[in-house]
Amino acid sequence: MIRSLLIANRGEIALRILRTARERGIRVVTVFSPPDRNALHVRLADSAHPLPGSSPSESYLRGDLLLEIARETGAEAIHPGYGFLAENADFARAVEEAGRIFIGPGPEAILKMGDKIAARRAAEEAGVPTIPGADAELDPEVLLGRAEEIGFPVLLKAAAGGGGKGIRRVDRAEDFREALKLATDEAGGAFGDGRVYLEKFLVKPRHVEVQVLADNHGNTIALGERECSVQRRHQKLVEESPSPAIDEDTRERMCEAAVRLAAAVDYRGAGTVEFMFSEGEFYFLEMNTRLQVEHAITEERFGVDLVFEQIRVASGLEIRPPSRPRGHAIEVRINAEDPDTFFPSLGTVERLASPGGPGVRFDSALFRGLEVGPWYDSMLAKVITWAPTRDEAIAKMRRALEELRITGVRTSVPAALRALDSEAFRAGDYDTSLLDDLPRAFERRDFDLAALAAALASHRRLLGSGEKGLEDGTARGRPTPWMLGRGPWEGGEGL
C-alpha cells in the first residue's frame, strides 16, 4: 500500500483526499498558493509547501514544482484530484518517469479520451453508441452534406473543448458555412486547437453518466449511473443517483457499454463515461479520466470510498466487488455566484453554518474568513443527501439547504431550490433545459458595471497585466474561470 501521498490540488477535493489518506495511515503532503495559505488542507496536512503565485499557471499547474516537492518530501504518489493537472497526460507521464505513482489512469488513456474525436472513434470501435455526426478532418462541404443528411439542427463542437465551451448550434443549411468558420476561430482562440466536429442536436436530452473502476489485473466494473441534467451554462448544479429516467434494461446496457469502453482503452482507476439520453436511446458523449465532482452520491449508494479505491488500484491491488446499491442520493453544488445570473460573486465568508443530521453529508473546505477571489473555480462546497426513497432524499436536501448559512458572498443555493421545488424535477421528467425554463427572482438583471470594473481591476492586479491571466487560466490555456464560469477544477467535464 502507498505510504505517503502528495495532493496536487486545493479546496474541497484536497481535503476530501486528505481525510481518506489520514484514516488509512498514509502520510499527507499538500501544496498551497498565497491565497490558500490558511486553507484547511494546509492546516491538517503532515507537511504543507508553498507555491509561488496566485494564478493557476503560477501554482497548481506547475508540474515541475509539484514533482520537486514530491522528491524533497519523499512522497511515493501524487493524487491530482479533479481539474488542474488531473487530465494532463504529460504530467502523468512525468510523474511516472520521476519514479512516482500517478493516482489515475495511464497517460495513453488520458491522451486518447481527452481528445473528443479520438474518444468518439474509440467508442465506435468498442461498439458503444455515438451521436450521429462527423469528424473534424472532413472538408467543410462534406461536413455540410453530412449535416443535411442527419438533419438540422446540428451542433458544431470544439475537439479540444469541454465544460460546455466551444459549442455552436446551427439551425439552417444556409448558416452552416459561416457558423463553421466562427466555431473554428473560437476553438482556436479558446483552446489552441481549431478542430471542430459535427453532432446531431438531440431533442430534450438528459445527461447521464456511469462510474467505472478498473485495476491492473483485467477487472473493470460499473458502479451505477448518475443523472446530471440540472445545469446552468452547461455546468452541473444538481446530480442524483439513480437516474429517474433510466429503466433496468437501459441501465444494464449503459453500464455494460461503459465497462466495454474502459476496457478497450486499457483504463485503470476511477473514471466516468458520460452519455446523452434522448427519446429512449443513449449516446456516448465523453469520458472523464479522473474522479468526478459528484462521486459522493455513488459512494453513498454503494457504500464505497472511491478515493481509497483509487489508492488501492494505484498500489497494485485488485478492485473489490461493491455492495449492492441502496436508496437514493442527491448532490447540490454550492457555488459563489449570483443565483439568477450565475455571475461569480467575490468576497469573504463572514458567517458559516453547515447542515447536518442523518443522511446529510457536507463536503467543504469552508471556514470563516475564507477569501473567495477570482483565482479559482467558484465551487465552495457540496451538500449530499441519502434516503431510502427519492422523495425522502429531496425533502432531506431541501431541509439541508435551508440550514446552510453562508454570508459574505452570494451562492447558487436559491437556484438549486428552484430546481428541487419544480414540478418537473419532482416528477423526474426533466432535461438539461430545466433551469432555463424556470422563472427567476429577476427575469432581467442589469449588471453593476462599477462592481464589474472593480473586479476586472482586481483580477489584473492579482494575475498580472493584460492578457496573461486570460490565457493562463487553466492547463489548456482556457480563459480564467471567474470570467466565464469555467474552472480548472472541472477539467474536461461538461458539468
Question: What is the residue-wise DSSP string for 267-323?
Answer: --EEEEEEEEEETTEEEEEEEE-S--TTHHHHHHHHT--HHHHHHHHHTTPPPPPPP
30: left (phi over 0), alpha (psi -120 to 50) or beta: beta
Strand partners, 199: 133, 155
Question: Which residue bears the cell 421545488?
Answer: 421
- Identify the pLDDT of residue 453: 56
The answer for residues whose C-beta is within 8 angstroms of residue 59's C-beta and 6 or more apart is 31, 33, 51, 52, 53
Cβ atoms 229, 434 nearer than 8 A: yes
Distance CA 364, CA 161 (A): 28
Distance CA 95, CA 278 (A): 40
Distances (CA, A) of 84 to 89, 385, 395, 485: 12, 27, 35, 15
- Identify the pLDDT of residue 158: 87
Tally Cβ neighbours within 10 Å of residue 24. Answer: 16
Distance CA 86, CA 425 (A): 32
Q: What is the dihedral of CA 362, 365, 367, 373, to 10 degrees?
A: -120
Question: 483 φ, ψ to 5°?
Answer: -75, -35
Cβ atoms 276, 282 nearer than 8 A: yes
Question: Counting Cβ atoms within 10 Å, is residue 219 exposed (0-12), middle (13-18) or buried (19+)?
Answer: middle
Cell triple for 228: 446530471
* pTM attached to this predicted model: 0.84
The answer for residues whose C-beta is within 8 angstroms of residue 278's C-beta and 6 or more apart is 202, 203, 204, 205, 206
Strands of 133-134's sheet, edge to edge? 133-134, 196-200, 154-158, 167-170
**Beta strands 379-387 and 405-407, pairing class:** unpaired
Question: Which residue bears the cell 461498439?
Answer: 127
Distance CA 291, CA 174 (A): 42
Cβ atoms 297, 10 nearer than 8 A: no
Strand partners, 288: 272
> Residue 336: what residue type?
A
Residue 142 DSSP SS3? helix
Q: Tell me which residues are annotated as active site.
A: 290
Question: Counting Cβ atoms within 10 Å, is residue 222 exposed (0-12), middle (13-18) or buried (19+)?
Answer: buried
**Beta strands 371-372 and 269-278, pairing class:** unpaired
Cβ atoms 477, 191 nearer than 8 A: yes
Question: Counting Cβ atoms within 10 Å, is residue 174 exposed (0-12), middle (13-18) or buried (19+)?
Answer: exposed
- Identify the pLDDT of residue 163: 58
Query: Prior bond to 153 cis, omega within 30?
Result: yes
Distance CA 461, CA 455 (A): 10
What letter does residue 201 receive in the DSSP assignment?
A: P
The number of angstroms, rounded, from the C-alpha of 56 to the middle of its chain's C-alpha atoms is: 17
Distances (CA, A) of 83 to 31, 56, 247, 292: 15, 11, 32, 9
| Model confidence pLDDT, tens digit, residues 418-443 | 999 999 999 999 999 999 989 875 44
Residue 245 DSSP SS3? coil
Cell triple for 300: 453513498
Query: Prior bond to 242 cis, omega within 30?
Result: yes
Stretches where the chain sits below pLDDT 50 are 442-448, 464-495
- Identify the pLDDT of residue 76: 98
Cβ atoms 116, 157 nearer than 8 A: yes
**Which residue segments constitute the domains of the chain, with CATH numbers given?**
4-111 (3.40.50.20), 132-200 (3.30.1490.20), 206-437 (3.30.470.20)
- Identify the pLDDT of residue 37: 96
Q: Which helix (H) or strand (E) holds 485?
A: none
Cβ atoms 425, 432 nearer than 8 A: no
